[in-house]
Amino acid sequence: MNHIELVQHIASFLASEVKSYDIPDICSSYGLDDGEESEAFAGKSKYVERRLRGKDQLFLIDLAKRVAKDYNSVDLNRMLNTISPRGIFNITQITRKNIVKEILSLGYIEGDMNLIDFLKRTWDLDSMPSTDSRFFNATGDITQHMIANDDWSFQELFEDVLEIYNITDEKFIRFTEQIVHPRVRSEVDPQFIEKLNYHLVKDGYKMQVTSQISGYPLYTIIKTTKGVKGEFKNLIFAADGPKPEIVISDSINNEIAIVKNQEFCLVYDLPILEGLLWRELVTWWGDKQSEEEGINVERAMYKRLIRSLDKGPERNFFKFYFKHFRERMGNSLPALIPQVYLHYDPYVTKIVPNETRLVRQRMDFLLLLPNNVRIVIEIDGKQHYSSEDNKPNPKKYAEMMKADRDLRLLGYEVFRFGGFEFINENSVDKMVLDFFSKLFLRYEIN
């Protein structure tokens, strides 16, 4: 789907859902330019399209996700799933397909209930349109084709009518939980739970008993990885000169602008949906440097990142990471991103009181792993806990500890290394190998 089609899809959806007199306010609530009601009455879709012109792909995808969530739109979810190779949900279409296959193997998915009553525990069938002109809604539709007749298979019901691959994570989780609910079936084979978990765990979820109803176990799907909510946008990193000065240009959409020293930093402006790999970073860099012929893109990217690091501990940490893991992990190597400014993470952005400039919040290194796992690595020198005159500064140390706590509460993992650990280069080599080997084992990064 190209840029124009994406704009048209968003515009036509809002035009179909919102009254003309409400369109200006709705657009404004999504951070789009204001307009007059008369313009909206002249054409709702065109009104929205005019306000989406000039917006980049990242903004449009983010807007479509917000609209889809606000209006519970399966249509927009379906469209978004065609744009992203991985899809837009935490529980991917691959996992959903495998779970549906396991559920269909049960035979009577409705268990001890009537099929319609069972489905209504997840879907509002009475308000869903019918695919058969003889009926008013999906209730009549499903009754006719699944109960009175059997001309629909369960697979057709789930995939074509209920569009189970395009419903929200919350609705899919609720559906799966209903399959093993005591009201639906009084006995659940533990092996069936194991089969479901075999698929769920790949997306960071697990089904387990959380309580009981009249002595029967109640199963709930929980998230096993405690990653950060939301997605990184416009990752700002690797400044090799004066630090960038960043302001909020749109407080509604958390958009930022670099107003000074932009030429010294890099801005990764592609969607980051499932972590960030080194090969993805190199490919992005190569596209940016396409005018330079004959260069080794990976080598050029590596050198550019090295330039942003201070000589000594930071550079050695970065160099030993590549020494031990570049060939070993190949295309699966996570990008070790240096000198990262967190400003465009919507869950960490802060505004200085009475100003639009953002609080400086830079980290030494960042790893973006699957399931929204974000690893912060800090290498502490004396500047972290002392004043410019090299005297201990408890206030500065306390501020650093508070920043760590804030990051952890937001779901980040924070690892600190002391400057003393970097005195012996040979020990640094071993330390880096040991740390990342254990880290990747913990998060099942192969």
- Report pLDDT for 384: 54
Q: What is the mean pLDDT of residues 84-89?
A: 65
- Confidence label for 387 from pLDDT (cuts 50, 70 and 90): low
- Confidence label for 231 from pLDDT (cuts 50, 70 and 90): low
What is the DSSP-derived secondary structure letter of residue 380?
A: E
d(CA 396, CA 402): 10
* pLDDT over 70 at 294, yes or no: no
* pLDDT over 70 at 442, yes or no: yes
Other Cβ atoms less than 10 A from the Cβ of 158: the count is 20
- Report pLDDT for 171: 92
- Report pLDDT for 251: 44
- Report pLDDT for 355: 39
- Report pLDDT for 392: 66
d(CA 173, CA 205): 10
* pLDDT over 50 at 303, yes or no: yes
- Report pLDDT for 361: 60
Q: What is the pLDDT of residues 205-216, one digit of tens each?
A: 999 999 999 999
Most confident option among 70-74, 278-282, 392-396: 278-282
* pLDDT over 80 at 234, yes or no: no
- Report pLDDT for 233: 56
* DSSP secondary structure of 125-187: GGGSPPSSTTSSSHHHHHIIIIII---S-HHHIIIIIS-TTSS-HHHHHHHHHHHT-TTT-S-
Q: What is the mean pLDDT of residues 387-397?
A: 67
Lowest pLDDT segment from 82-91, 99-108, 242-251: 242-251
Q: Say if residues 106 and 189 touch (Cβ distance below 8 Å).
A: no
* pLDDT over 90 at 95, yes or no: yes
* Residues 1, 69, 177: CA angle, nearest 5 degrees: 110
- The pLDDT > 90 percentage for the chain reads 33
pTM of the predicted model, to two decimals? 0.55
Q: What is the pLDDT of residues 305-353, one digit of tens each?
A: 999 998 889 999 999 999 999 999 998 999 999 998 854 443 333 333 3
- Confidence label for 394 from pLDDT (cuts 50, 70 and 90): confident
* DSSP secondary structure of 182-211: TTT-S---HHHHHHHHHHHGGGTEEEEEEE
- Report pLDDT for 107: 83
Most confident option among 54-63, 169-178, 235-244: 169-178
- Confidence label for 408 from pLDDT (cuts 50, 70 and 90): confident
- Confidence label for 377 from pLDDT (cuts 50, 70 and 90): very high
Residue in 243, 422, 251 with CA at minimum distance from that of residue 349: 251
- Confidence label for 172 from pLDDT (cuts 50, 70 and 90): very high
Residue in 424, 232, 202 with CA at minimum distance from that of residue 346: 232
Q: What is the pLDDT of residues 125-160, one digit of tens each?
A: 998 888 877 888 999 999 999 888 888 899 999 998
- Report pLDDT for 314: 92
Q: Mean pLDDT over all residues of the chain?
A: 82
- Report pLDDT for 322: 95
- Report pLDDT for 115: 94
Q: What is the pLDDT of residues 341-370, one digit of tens each?
A: 854 443 333 333 333 444 446 789 999 998
* pLDDT over 90 at 175, yes or no: yes
- Report pLDDT for 383: 60
How many residues are recorded in the chain? 446
* pLDDT over 60 at 277, yes or no: yes
Residue in 292, 264, 295, 269 with CA at minimum distance from that of residue 280: 269
